[in-house]
Amino acid sequence: DADVTQTPRNRITKTGKRIMLECSQTKGHDRMYWYRQDPGLGLRLIYYSFDVKDINKGEISDGYSVSRQAQAKFSLSLESAIPNQTALYFCATSDAGSSYNEQFFGPGTRLTVL
Amino acid sequence: GQSLEQPSEVTAVEGAIVQINCTYQTSGFYGLSWYQQHDGGAPTFLSYNALDGLEETGRFSSFLSRSDSYGYLLLQELQMKDSASYFCAGNTGGFKTIFGAGTRLFVKA
């Protein structure tokens, strides 16, 4: 079984709709992250959380919100989706005890906003 | 600001050696990581340099010079399966990680 899972894997939605992307992990890691990937731009950090009570904005948080429901679950919401949010979204985790912050990525969610 | 620069594409021949460079400007820099991503897949961790010098892991090596704000990933004995995108990533204060835009490596037979 995969250690970091994301649902859905693919989603097509319309402008203005509310969308939630979910991430679950069985690695027991405290740290969780949401990134978006666009061609030629690499991975950009949206939000990150170091425990259930800790939520931090990343580089590009505008238009997004997150919820850390439990140590193992971290959800990303688009309150009102717009076409330029079309991208590949990755969830990642890392171990607080890791000095080099190796991150483990989920398989990604491909989101298309029409 | 925080940014990492790397070439967009590199092409090399199977069996050869290739070096992917990364220069960075980050505040509160704690180390440089490298990730590999195959088409349609998720990034996977390759290596990390916290201190200056060379770290070797099998066919892959990574180098860091903090005084030059520069690092590289060295891939030896290239194989077709090494065709992928490679990202350098800077670990900054608060354990945030900032990624470069990625280098697409094409390995030719």
User: What is the residue-wise DSSP string for A18-57?
Assistant: -EEEEEEESS--SEEEEEEEETTTEEEEEEEEEETTEEEE
Whole-angstrom distance, CA of residue A80 vs CA of residue A100: 36
**Confidence class of residue B88 from pLDDT cuts 50, 70 and 90?**
very high
Q: What radius of gyration, in Å, describes the C-alpha atoms of chain A?
A: 13
Which has the higher per-residue pLDDT, B88 or B93?
A: B88
pLDDT digits (tens, 9 = 90+) for B1-30: 678 999 999 999 999 999 999 999 877 778
CB contact under 8 A, B97 and A45: yes
Is A97 at the interface with chain B, CB within 8 A?
Answer: no
Angle at A102 between CA B87 and CA B43, to 5 degrees: 40
Backbone angles phi, psi at B35, to 5 degrees: -130, 150
CA dist list (Å): B60 to A43, A60, A76:
22, 32, 34
Mean pLDDT of A33-49: 92
Mean pLDDT of chain B: 92
Which chain B residues are closer than 8 Å to A9 by Cβ?
A: none
Q: Flag if B33 and A44 touch (Cβ within 8 Å).
A: no
CA torsion angle B30 A71 A106 A55 (round to 10)? -50
Residues of B in contact with A106 (CB under 8 A): 42
